[in-house]
């Protein structure tokens, strides 16, 4: 497999190159670059299987480079210093990333996942989500939800609520779909906390846009606009 690395720090490029050459005999670094302009030409020339891409580059961002590829055929791994917004965008879009300074175990895991990815269309969907999430007002608009059978690209504003089921989470959408994800509601509470979602109960995370009313008299708790009844924990009651 062929890898192209684009990073503005030669030290990082050298570190990644040495780690990959040490751990993966079937993977070769075919090119590297320090900026978008030359990086773009290296991608076109070498058609890599995996692209390792920094966010901040001298002539723009890694996101700017991705926008030039409508249907990328490469698998993508981002490298970044800790930038909260970018990392949240990666999580929303299910994109793999590693933090600087480079940790060998994290890099090996990301490379192994990229190498084993069989369905390139999954990567394309994730990149599409990432590009839509990286915008001027920094609002995260879409989230990638992985089920046992497929990936779903969902608008955050289309999620009415989430409900815990042991270590799984059900997503209820405005079009009537119910999607089961093998992650805990705790993970989505953290991910969606700045997108208008509130954890009103141990098992329930709601989108405040879809609250219809709070029914004190009948004990129905919160009544959502899809007519679902959501219990409210005592410490959350108005």
Say yes or no: 124 and 150 in one domain.
no
**Range of 46's domain?**
2-133
pLDDT at 136: 60
Task: Report how far residue 156's alpha carbon sits from residue 92's, in angstroms, rounded to the nearest whole number.
Answer: 10
Identify the CATH number of the domain in which residue 221 sits: 2.40.50.1020
Whether 68 and 91 share a structural domain = yes
**pLDDT at residue number 193:** 87
* Co-location of 123 and 64 in the same domain: yes
Same domain, 172 and 122: no
Mark residue 166 as left, alpha or beta (left: phi above 0; alpha: psi -120 to 50; beta: remaining). left
Q: In this structure, are 153 and 210 located in the same domain?
A: yes
Query: Is 196 in the same domain as 104?
Result: no
| Claim to verify: residue 110 and residue 166 sit in the same structural domain | no
Q: How many angstroms separate the CA atoms of 44 and 227, rounded?
A: 52
Query: What pLDDT does residue 71 have?
Result: 85
Q: Domain check: are 110 and 165 in the same one? A: no
User: Are 6 and 69 found together in one domain?
Assistant: yes
Instruction: Judge if pTM exceeds 0.85.
Output: no
**Residue at a domain's end among 133, 159, 177:** 133
* Domain's final residue, options 110, 133, 156: 133
The CATH code of the domain that includes 77 is: 3.40.50.2300
The confidence score (pLDDT) of residue 215 equals 82
Residues 193 and 122 both lie in one domain: no
State the total domains in the chain.
2
What's residue 198's pLDDT? 95
Nearest to 160 by CA among 222, 213, 224: 224
Domain limit, last residue, from 107, 133, 159: 133
Reading the chain (238 residues) residue by residue, the pLDDT tens digits are: 999 999 999 999 999 999 999 999 999 999 999 999 999 999 999 999 999 999 899 999 898 999 899 888 899 999 988 677 678 888 878 788 999 999 999 999 999 988 887 667 777 888 888 878 776 666 778 899 988 888 899 999 999 999 999 999 999 999 999 999 999 999 999 999 889 999 999 999 999 999 998 887 766 689 999 999 999 887 766 5
Q: What is the pLDDT, as a whole number, of residue 115? A: 85
111 and 36 share a domain? yes
- 167 and 122 belong to one structural domain: no
């Amino acid at each position: 497999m062929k890898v192209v690395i684009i990073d503005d720090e030669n030290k990082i490029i050298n570190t990644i190159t040495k780690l990959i050459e040490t751990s993966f005999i079937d993977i070769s670094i075919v090119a590297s670059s320090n900026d978008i302009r030359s990086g773009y030409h290296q991608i076109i020339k070498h058609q890599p299987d995996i692209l390792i891409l920094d966010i901040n580059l001298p002539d723009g961002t890694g996101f700017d480079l991705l926008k030039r590829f409508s249907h990328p055929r490469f698998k993508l791994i981002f490298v970044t210093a800790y930038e909260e917004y970018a990392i949240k965008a990666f999580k929303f879009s299910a994109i793999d990333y590693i933090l600087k300074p480079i940790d060998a175990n994290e890099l090996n895991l990301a490379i192994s996942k990229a190498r084993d990815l069989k369905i390139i269309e999954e990567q394309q969907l994730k990149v599409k989500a990432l590009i839509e999430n990286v915008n001027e007002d920094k609002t995260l608009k879409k989230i990638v939800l992985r089920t046992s059978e497929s990936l779903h690209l969902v608008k955050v504003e289309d999620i009415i609520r989430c409900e815990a089921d042991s270590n799984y989470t059900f997503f209820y959408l405005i079009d009537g779909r119910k999607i089961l994800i093998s992650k805990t509601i705790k993970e989505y509470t953290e991910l969606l906390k700045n997108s208008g979602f509130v954890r009103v109960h141990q098992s329930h995370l709601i989108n405040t846009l879809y609250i219809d009313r709070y029914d004190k008299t009948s004990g129905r708790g919160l009544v959502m606009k899809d007519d679902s009844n959501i219990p409210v924990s005592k410490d959350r009651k108005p």
